[in-house]
């Protein structure tokens, strides 16, 4: 079950509306001096995985609690071109004021979920997890990782406290020369809490051997070709989990999965996912019919 980051959504909605409405909506105020009944619907304009509806709903209600909403789709569901994701009724001024922030949530998060699903589908048949990274928009990490999970992916570390991940710059700063990987792993083992995993990033087979000697739990093969990954997997031989990362695309991810890793981490899931194509269509509400005397 994908958990809804409710507190993070509330915070993101508040910040988004402060950004857009702190000084008011001068256009809507200039054009409409009184309540203007209206109806709106948000429509998918491509096939996508829905993500961000919870945030969109909160956005409209934060602007105007009297708005009436109905939600024919749910976060995590598939939607096709032309499907309605959300109906809104009420004061058109309020709908206009919430429109952009609500669509920002839906377009960005649905884009992440949809791209994640494409990667997961690309590696069907292989026992490998598609994972995100910490390459997220500041303040949006929980929402972006939620969208990855809705698309079928797995979440990597949520923060620097979630696991020890020794990367190239750690090794450069440690300055232990050719034994840096093994030394770093041993230092990490002596400082880790409970069963916290130790992950180390390596770029060559000699570094893989050092990682094994240092008792790393997960060996991250960075920017290796599928052929190199296959050799590393054979060398590791189940003594550690194998993760691959760097340069992973929809074109090469299946070949990478075939090389035998346990995990494939992809920064592009969150930092480069194209926004989903959605639109909000707004129309005046029909005037009530006059009753005959």
251 in catalytic set: no
- What is the token pair recorded at 149? 């999970």
Query: Which of these is catalytic: 100, 134, 209, 215?
Result: 100
167 in catalytic set: yes
**Which helix (H) or strand (E) is 201 found in, with range?**
strand 198-202
20 in catalytic set: no
Q: How far apart are CA 53 and CA 172, in angstroms?
A: 44
19 in catalytic set: no
Query: Which of these is catalytic: 73, 134, 135, 209?
Result: 135
Name the nearest CA neighbour of 98 among 58, 147, 142: 58
Helix extents (H) in 253-292 = 253-258, 268-271
Query: Which of these is catalytic: 91, 132, 201, 262?
Result: 201
Instruction: Report yes or no: 85 and 109 within 8 Å, Cβ to Cβ.
Output: no
100 in catalytic set: yes
Cβ atoms within 10 Å of 153's Cβ, excluding its own = 26
Residues contacting residue 291 through CB under 8 Å, at least 6 positions apart: none
- What is the token pair recorded at 83? 């499907």
Query: Which of these is catalytic: 118, 222, 230, 231?
Result: 222
DSSP of 1-41, one letter per residue? -PPP-HHHHHHHHHHHHHHHHTT--HHHHHH-SS--EEEEE
CA 159 vs CA 71, 136, 138, 162, 281: distances in Å: 33, 11, 12, 6, 39
Query: Which of these is catalytic: 14, 68, 167, 239?
Result: 167
- What is the token pair recorded at 227? 């052929």
**Which helix (H) or strand (E) is 168 found in, with range?**
helix 168-174
Instruction: Report yes or no: 222 and 249 within 8 Å, Cβ to Cβ.
Output: no
Question: Which active-site residues does the annotation give?
Answer: 100, 135, 167, 201, 222
């Amino acid at each position: 079950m994908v958990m809804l980051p409710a507190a993070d959504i509330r915070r993101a909605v508040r910040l988004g509306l402060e950004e857009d409405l702190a000084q008011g909506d001068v256009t809507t105020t200039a054009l409409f001096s009184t309540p203007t009944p209206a109806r709106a619907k948000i429509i998918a304009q491509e096939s996508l995985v829905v993500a961000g509806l919870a945030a969109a709903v909160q956005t409209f209600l934060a602007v105007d609690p009297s708005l009436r909403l109905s939600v024919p789709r749910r976060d995590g569901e598939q939607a096709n071109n032309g499907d309605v994701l959300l109906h809104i009724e009420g004061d058109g001024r309020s709908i206009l004021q919430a429109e952009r922030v609500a669509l920002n949530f839906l377009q960005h998060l649905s884009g992440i979920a949809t791209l994640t699903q494409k990667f997961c589908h690309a590696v069907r048949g292989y026992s490998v997890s598609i994972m995100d990274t910490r390459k997220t928009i500041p303040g949006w990490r929980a929402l972006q990782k939620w969208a990855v999970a809705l698309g079928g992916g797995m979440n990597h570390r949520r923060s620097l406290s979630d696991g020890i991940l020794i990367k190239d710059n750690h090794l450069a700063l440690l300055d232990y020369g050719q034994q840096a990987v093994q030394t770093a792993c041993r230092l990490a083992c002596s400082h880790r809490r409970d069963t916290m995993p130790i992950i180390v990033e390596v770029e060559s087979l000699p570094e893989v051997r050092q990682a094994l000697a240092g008792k790393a739990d997960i060996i991250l093969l960075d920017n290796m070709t599928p052929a190199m990954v296959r050799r590393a997997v054979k060398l590791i031989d189940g003594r550690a989990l194998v993760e691959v990362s760097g340069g992973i695309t929809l074109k090469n991810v299946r070949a990478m999965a075939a090389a035998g890793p346990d995990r494939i981490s992809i920064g592009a899931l969150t930092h480069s996912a194209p926004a989903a194509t959605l639109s909000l269509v707004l129309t005046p509400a029909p005037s009530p019919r006059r009753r005959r005397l």
